[in-house]
Structure 1
Amino acid sequence: MNQRTVVALSGGVGGAKLALGLTRILPPDDLLVVANTGDDFEHLGLTICPDTDTLTYVLAGLDNTEQGWGRRDETWSFMDTIGTLGGADWFRLGDRDLALHVERTRRLRAGESLSQVTHDITRRLGIGPRILPMSDDPVRTRVRCDEGWIDFQEYFVHRQCRPVVRELAFEGAGVARPQPEVMAALAPGRARAVVICPSNPFISIEPILAVPGLRAAIAASGAPVVAVSPIVGGRAVKGPTAKMMEELGLAVSAASAAGRYGDLLDGYIVDEADGAGISVATRAAPTLMKTVEDKEALARTVLDFADSLA
């Protein structure tokens, strides 16, 4: 295990942008990306891992940059046919993307762990850094709305975030075991930094921290913990972050997002307009990552800040 590992906690789109920036400035063996699996679900008989797959496609250079999710140069014959047959076509699986889900599901049913499957697929796609799930045990995010509890993808994709969020729960988290390589990277003295990517705190990062032992391991690692705010200019860059904050009675601000991590943080990267009311050390930087150069520049800022806090 490398003695200078940067451990990055990540959800999907926003987290993958910073993860890509980190891959451009770190040797492959010096970066471990911990993927949220709370979004995972079973669909059409297949195990779908949205955040892991977004990270995989982005780091492999296969992502659809215009759409923000899925693979580029995608075709949709399978979904068009499923719809014609009356099947569930609300969660769009492109033909190229489908191959990954079929192969993952086959190997999981054959007895391989999610970590083993993910590691092999990322290597076959030419990704150097490790991408590992937070746990090989199933953890599923659930959303309580006015009608009761529903699965996260039902809320997020099928209903397009329309229901009012009253509460979140991470089913299975209480008995899930943290991924062993992740825990080894977080052993005292082993990590250079822990980076919390600019992902939704509620549905991307908190499921990771809900796995028993992970939050404590981060706190005991001795590495500086630096988060990047998902809020820019008082607004969420993408997804339902701001809507969730409002519905859960929180101010839509970088400070509120930081507050979700409690005393875990040593430092917080915020956009130039968002530094008020934060109790930990902050550094202002452009956090809106539109180009590869933006991603690399923010990654350099994050690591420089973390090193200054070590």
Structure 2
Amino acid sequence: MTRIVVLAGGVGGARFLRGVREEARRRFPDGSGGTTAAIAAIVNTGDDAWLAGLRITPDLDSIMYTLAGVNDEQRGWGRLGESERVSAELREYGVGWPWFTLGDLDLGTHIARTSWLRDGLRLSAAVERLTRRWDLGGVRLLPATDDEVETHVRVRDGDVDRELHFQEWWTRYRAALPARAFVQRGVEAAQPAPGVLDAIASADAILLAPSNPVVSIGTVLGIPGLRQAVTGASAPIVGVSPIIGGAVVRGMADACLAAIGVETSAAAVAEHYGRRGRGGLLDGWLVDDRDAESMAAVAASEIAVSSLPLLMRDADTSAAIAAAALDLAGVHR
């Protein structure tokens, strides 16, 4: 059995995982429309928060909804066909964040998760229960950690330095307040969730989704022991650039990169990740055709590099990206 591990977060991670699943069905068919490959997604939990008494896990939920085919493709988050009556009521009571709207169907997920957490389940066990409802096509979702590790942002707001939860900086302020640093509260005491280290150790390929390198992939790798497990694995590590034509596709990842002094370019993100064996991560790197001029700089770092269109428009284009990543990792039919 071929085992594929994907480090992921956000919309880019969700769409890439959908492509990995589609390519796995084509490359390793099981004869009934599925795949013989095992796909494990290790998902960022740094965006998580307590809100109105509920535990919210945006990246895990976005990926679950996308793989289940019930996501709102236009908005890029939440459930398809949502209503927002409960959020409107909460605003009237002054509860929660008025700039962070939760749909009524989505709230059902948060209530179920929070109920199980209050009963004593760890996050990974709650995720397993949630995903039983949906057909995810054989993809297993693993939170990077069961511990509460939330990303905060140190910003300069006028003449005042303050620290915001990442969701407030990202959703309320749209990353307009210049970030000075990102802080993962609670990360020092965190441990990888059950199944995470085993999945990495047994992988035939480890893929870095085109997710935010700083607050998605960076937060996953910031869990103590996780980066060491990834770099020490026998599997090749191939990343997909989140930069297309010198710009981010959606969101404000460029604001995150600027905060840590990294240029918004495919070559600069590859340099940020670094070459495995030289203190970095990558064995291979995929860049968009429009960034092909960056290939020489990446290759000079002795990272194998290939280019193709990286815009994930549909199942076929997403599967083609996954296929290129698997090929670069040496995982063939």
Provide the TM-score with structure 1 as the length reference. Answer: 0.95
Q: SS at the partner of 1:99?
A: helix
Deviations 1:235-292 (A, max 9, x none): 0011111122234432210112122222210000000122412221111011110112
Q: Deviations over 1:128-166 (max 9, x none)?
A: 210010011111111111122211111111222111011
Q: Is this contact kept in 2: 1:28–1:129, CA < 8 A? A: no
2:174 to 160, 183, 190: 160
Partner of 1:270: 287
Q: Which string of whole-angstrom CA distances, capped at 9 and with x for unpartnered residues, describes residues 275-310 of structure 1?
A: 41222111101111011211111111111111169x
Matched, 1:55 2:63: yes
Partner of 1:150 in structure 2?
Answer: 164
8 A Cα contact 1:38 1:203, kept in partner: yes
Q: Match of 2:12?
A: 14
The alignment partner of 2:17 has SS state of: helix
Asked if structure 1 preserves the Cα contact closer than 8 Å seen for 2:6 and 2:206, the reply is yes
Contact between 2:174 and 2:252, CA under 8 Å: does it hold in 1?
no
**Aligned residues of 2:23 and 2:320 also touching (Cα < 8 A):** no
Q: CA deviation at 1:174?
A: 1.5
Q: Any conservation in 2 of the 1:63–1:69 contact (CA below 8 Å)?
A: yes
Match of 1:207 in 2: 219
Q: Secondary structure at the match of 2:291?
A: coil
Partner of 2:109: 100
* Contact 2:44/2:60 (<8 A) preserved: yes
Name the SS of the counterpart of 1:212 in structure 2.
coil
RMSD: 1.5
The one-letter code sitting in structure 2 at the alignment partner of 1:241 is A
1:131 to 141, 150, 154: 141
Name the residue aligned to 1:305.
Answer: 328
**Structure 1: stretches of 5+ with no match in the other structure:** none
Identity level (%)? 39
In the alignment, which of 208, 213, 227 is matched to residue 196 of structure 1?
208
Distance 1:217 1:86 in 2: 44
Say which SS state the counterpart of residue 227 (structure 2) adopts.
helix
The 10-residue stretch of structure 1 (113-122 or 78-87) with the greater mean CA deviation from structure 2: 78-87
- 197, 201, 216: which is aligned to 1:183? 197
Given the two structures, how large is their TM-score scaled by the length of structure 2? 0.88
* 2:234 alignment partner, one of 211, 222, 225: 222
For residues 25-83 of structure 1, give each alpha carbon's deviation from its aligned partner in whole angstroms, at most 9, with x where no partner exists: 32275100011000000001100000000000000001000111100010111112222
8 Å CA contact 1:195, 1:226 repeated in 2: yes
Do 1:186 and 1:218's aligned partners in 2 also have CA atoms closer than 8 Å? yes
* Distance in 1 (alpha carbons) for counterparts of 2:197 and 2:248: 31
Unpaired runs of at least 5, structure 2: 25-34, 275-279
Say which of 110, 119, 138 aligns to 1:110.
119
1:36 aligns with 2:51: no
The separation in 1 between residues aligned to 2:145 and 2:200, in whole angstroms, is 14
Deviation at 1:120, TM superposition (A): 1.5
The number of residue pairs the alignment matches comes to 305
- Per-residue Cα deviation, 1:150-192 (whole angstroms, up to 9, x for no partner): 11111111222111011112111111111231101222xx211
Q: Is the 8 A contact 1:235 1:253 kept in 2?
A: yes
Taking the aligned partners of 1:124 and 1:252, their CA distance within structure 2 comes to: 39
Counterpart amino acid of residue 182 in structure 2: L
